Chains A and B, each alone.
Chain A
Amino acid sequence: MAIQGVLRPGYVQLRVLDMEAALVHYRDRIGLDVMMTDDDGLVYLKAYDEFDHHSIILREAPETGMDFMGFKVASEEALDAFARSLRAAGVPVDEIPADEGRYLGRRIGFLAPTGHRFELFASMGRSNACPMIDNPELWHAEPRAMRAQRFDHCLLYGDDIDGTMDIFCRLLGFVLTEQVVAPDGTVIAAFLSCGMKAHDIALVRHEEKGKLHHVSFLLENWNDVGHAADIMSRYNMSVDIGPTRHGITRGQTIYFFDPSGNRNEVFAGGYTFYPDHPVRTWSTDEVGKAIFYYERALNDRFMTVVT
């Protein structure tokens, strides 16, 4: 199957209270590489197995949370087509010109009904640190710290998840892979894929708009999840829960917090999704297993702690 339209999550910009502390966390603990710092003090990072210039952008600010999340699309033509269909559906779209200094092609952006800003882009520069392509070794130098391979997805909390889901599924070509549904039929949580992963973005219904539940990084295997847990204890990092497993997506996971309280996840595994697969549905009485398969119960932070 050829993936067309939206390819994958490309980047996320996070607000942190203290840049120095954030860099220790994302660079020295998770193992991302700092690619550049721009004139405004924003720091651009990427994981060792990513080709594009950056995937995580950190902005020092007095309030924590997410500024925006960006998805990479297949071509400039696809980008134009998405701008047209969003506008035709009444979604205001803004356009940001290419910015070579930040390795970015032109972007389009829109505000989703849940209050989150999303951007789409078709091109981003590469750096010397991208994975090898000729007689490719596994890596240039052995991965550091938690050995995160890539920025994988975000789980976002907001009020009108039906509206945001509608934009992603009807206009951007995402498919609902898995959901949690209340007895009255209300969708409480939705997991959406734009390719063959179990999810590229997830949404949970929540009274406030524009909240971030977590930013997730892929690890190679369960053993690396254990290695990440070792690092979290060694450096007294704030752990939410894990190592454990999700029933939803089947990912093996740890939730933890950056030094500003933004939740991160490192995970491995998860099933392969094909577009002909049926939607998998969890009822609210089994939501404990859906979220934390081994504990079989939510912790009280899952529904309440967001930035």
Chain B
Amino acid sequence: MTVRHTIRVENCGDHFTCPEGEGVLQAMEKQGRSSIPVGCRSGGCGRCRVEVTDGAFKAGPMSRRHVSEAEGGQALVLACRIYPRSDLTIRLATPAFRTAVEK
């Protein structure tokens, strides 16, 4: 039986589960949720950028344009390329979201 972790999105209070080894964004989409913006789902476009504020995860390849190596260390990542190892709490960090907040 695959372990499922709970993903909490701080901004909107949404939460959903994600099987260990599956991408957070992919798990969200499968459950019909939409709290994180969906782009290429492949680590390239940066649309699903989030900050992980709590929890452990494994990361796959992500374009350096959207996640610098330093930022990766600070847990700024793309939701399509993180695979939870525990429950996660995340905060949206997409360019679109930042613009909305600044307004």
Contacts and interface: CB of A to CB of B under 8 A. Distances in A.
B55 interface: no
A307 B61 contact: no
Interface residues of A, number: 21
Interface in A262-307: 262-263, 300-301, 304-307
A259 B42 contact: yes
B74 interface: no
Nearest to A257: B40
Contact of B47 (A18, A238, A305): A305
Interface stretch (B1-9, B62-70, B83-91): B62-70
Contact of B40 (A63, A261, A300): A261
Given A62-B64, A63-B64, A261-B63, A17 B43 contact: yes
B42 A238 contact: yes
Contacts of B39: 261, 301, 304-305
A123 interface: no
Interface in A198-224: none
B45 interface: yes
Interface string B18-29: 000000000000
Given A17-B63, A260-B61, A304 B47 contact: yes
A283 B65 CA distance: 33
B41 interface: yes
Contacts of B96: 304
A305 B62 CA distance: 15
A305 B40 contact: yes
Interface string B45-85: 10100000000000001111100000000000000000000
Contacts of B47: 301, 304-305
Contact of A307 (B38, B41, B63): B63
Contacts of A304: 39, 47, 96
Contacts of A258: 42
Contact of B41 (A17, A62, A257, A300): A257
Nearest to A236: B26
A257 to B, nearest CB: 4
A64 interface: yes
Given A304-B47, A304-B96, A305-B47, A260 B41 contact: no
Candidate in A64, A257, A300 with the most chain B CB atoms within 10 angstroms: A64
A26 to B, nearest CB: 13
A65 B45 CA distance: 9
A306 B65 CA distance: 12
Given A262-B40, A306-B45, 10 more contacts: A17-B61, A64-B63, A64-B65, A257-B40, A257-B42, A260-B42, A260-B43, A261-B39, A261-B45, A305-B45
7 contacts: A63-B64, A63-B65, A238-B42, A240-B40, A259-B42, A304-B39, A304-B47
